[in-house]
Amino acid sequence: MQILDEAPVLESEIDSLGHMNVRYYLGRVDRANVALLQNLGIDAAALQPGTLLRRFDTYSRFRREQFAGAHLQVAGGVLELNREFARCYFEIRNPARGEIAATFITQTTLIDSITQSRLPFAPQLLRINEKYGVQLPEHGTPRSLSLDQPRLDVTLDEIAQRVSEHPAEGMMSGRRESTIEREDCDERGRLREDLDLMFIMHRDQPGVKRETYGPPVMKTSDGHRFSWAMIETRAIVLGRPVAGDCLVSIGADVAFGERWRQSRRWAFVKDSGLLVGINDTIGIALDLDERRSIAIPDQVANSIQESYLPDLA
C-alpha cells in the first residue's frame, strides 16, 4: 500500500476521552481518499463540468487509541473500480509504535451537482495499476457492523414516535436539530462534501458552549470516570441538504451486549422528511481511569431499553 497522508496528532484533536477524536481520523482518510483518486486520474481536472466526487459510504474500525504528539501515516489503495463507484481501503498507522490505529473501507461515486443523481465514471478512468491496487486484509474486515444495505423505508414520523424523549446517556440516541449554515456549503449552496453530517448534528448548539468535545464523561457507582469509545462506525450519505435546511437527527440503540451498544442515527430534512444520512456506531463502555472496557452500568443499560429498536437494525 502507498502512503497517502502524514500528520502529527495535535492537542486540538484530543477530545473529552483524552484521545484523538473520530472526526480527525476521518479527516485524514478524506485527504488520503482524494489523493488516491487523484493518483488514479480521477480528480477535478478529469471530471466533466458540473460533476463532483462524493464519498457516500465509509466504514471505520478503530483499533488503538492515539494521543497528542503521535505521528500518523495513512496508507491505502483501491479494492474495486467500476463505472458505478471506487471502493478503497485505508489504514492509519503509528509507525513509531508499530501499530495500526484504525482501518477504513470507503465507496466514492460521481455525482451530477445539479440533479444530485449518480453518474458513471468514464471508461478511460477505470484503471487500477499495480501500484495502487490492493486486497482487503483480514484485519481490515468488519468486526460487528454489517456492510449490507440498511433499511431505507423509515420515516421521520415513525422514528420520532418510537424513540424515547429521554435518551440513554452518552452515546448516539435521542433527538437533535441543527440548521445548515451558508458557511457549511459550497458555491452552489449545498453542504460541502468534506463535512460529515454527524459532526454537523453534534456541533455546539446556539447559546451552549462546551469546554471539551466528544462523548460526555460519567461516573460509575464506584466513582470511576467512564464514557463510550467508538470501535466501529459506518456513515452512509443519501443526500446533501442545502443552506437553510433544518436537519432532524434521531438515534436509537438497535443492539447491545454486556459491554457494548450499537446505535443508529437517522438524519432527515425537517420540512420535507427527506432521509439524507444513516450513521451506525458501536461503542464500548470505557473506564477512563483504568483505560479498559467495563460492563455497562445498570442505570445506562435500563435507559437503553427505552429506545431499543432491534427491528430497524
Evaluate whether the domain defined by 1-141 bears CATH number 3.40.50.2000.
no
Q: Which DSSP helix (H) or strand (E) runs through 302?
A: helix 298-304
Do residues 52 and 237 make contact, with C-beta atoms less than 8 angstroms apart? Answer: no
* Own/partner pairs, 163-168, CB within 8 angstroms, 24+ separation: 163/250, 163/251, 163/252, 163/307, 163/309, 164/306, 164/307, 166/303, 166/306, 167/251, 167/303, 167/307, 168/253, 168/261, 168/300, 168/303, 168/304, 168/306, 168/307
Q: In tens digits, what is the pLDDT along the chain, a chain of 313 residues? A: 999 999 999 999 998 888 999 889 999 999 999 999 988 888 776 678 889 999 999 999 999 999 999 999 999 999 999 999 999 999 999 999 999 999 999 999 999 999 999 999 888 777 777 788 999 999 999 999 999 999 999 999 999 888 876 655 555 667 888 999 999 999 899 999 988 888 787 776 555 555 556 677 888 888 888 888 889 999 999 999 999 999 999 988 899 999 999 999 999 999 999 999 999 999 999 898 888 999 998 888 888 887 789 998 8
pLDDT the model gives residue 45: 67
pLDDT the model gives residue 304: 83
3-state secondary structure of 230: strand
**DSSP one-letter code for 97:** T
pLDDT the model gives residue 91: 98
Amino acid (one-letter) located at 307: S
pLDDT the model gives residue 207: 54
Please list, residue by residue across 236-262, b when 16 or more beta carbons sit within 10 angstroms of its beta carbon and e when fewer do: bbebbbbbebebbbbbbbbbbeeebbb
pLDDT the model gives residue 278: 95
Q: Where are the domains of the chain?
A: 1-141, 145-313
DSSP states of 162-200: HS-SSPPTTSS-EEEEEEPPGGGB-TTSBB-TTS-HHHH
Give the list of residues 6+ apart from residue 205 with CB closer than 8 angstroms, or none: 178
**Paired residues of 81 in beta bridges:** 86
Q: How many helices (H) and strands (E) does the chain have?
A: 4, 13
Q: How far is CA 304 from the centre of its chain?
A: 22
3-state secondary structure of 1: coil
1-141 and 145-313 have identical folds? yes
For domain 145-313, give the fold. Thiol Ester Dehydrase; Chain A (3.10.129)
How far is 297 from 299, CA to CA, in rounded Å? 6
pLDDT the model gives residue 306: 77
Give the list of residues 6+ apart from residue 217 with CB closer than 8 angstroms, or none: 16, 17, 225, 226, 227, 288
pLDDT the model gives residue 307: 76
Q: How far apart are the first and last CA of the chain?
A: 34
pLDDT the model gives residue 213: 63
User: Does the reported pTM lie above 0.85?
Assistant: yes
pLDDT the model gives residue 166: 63
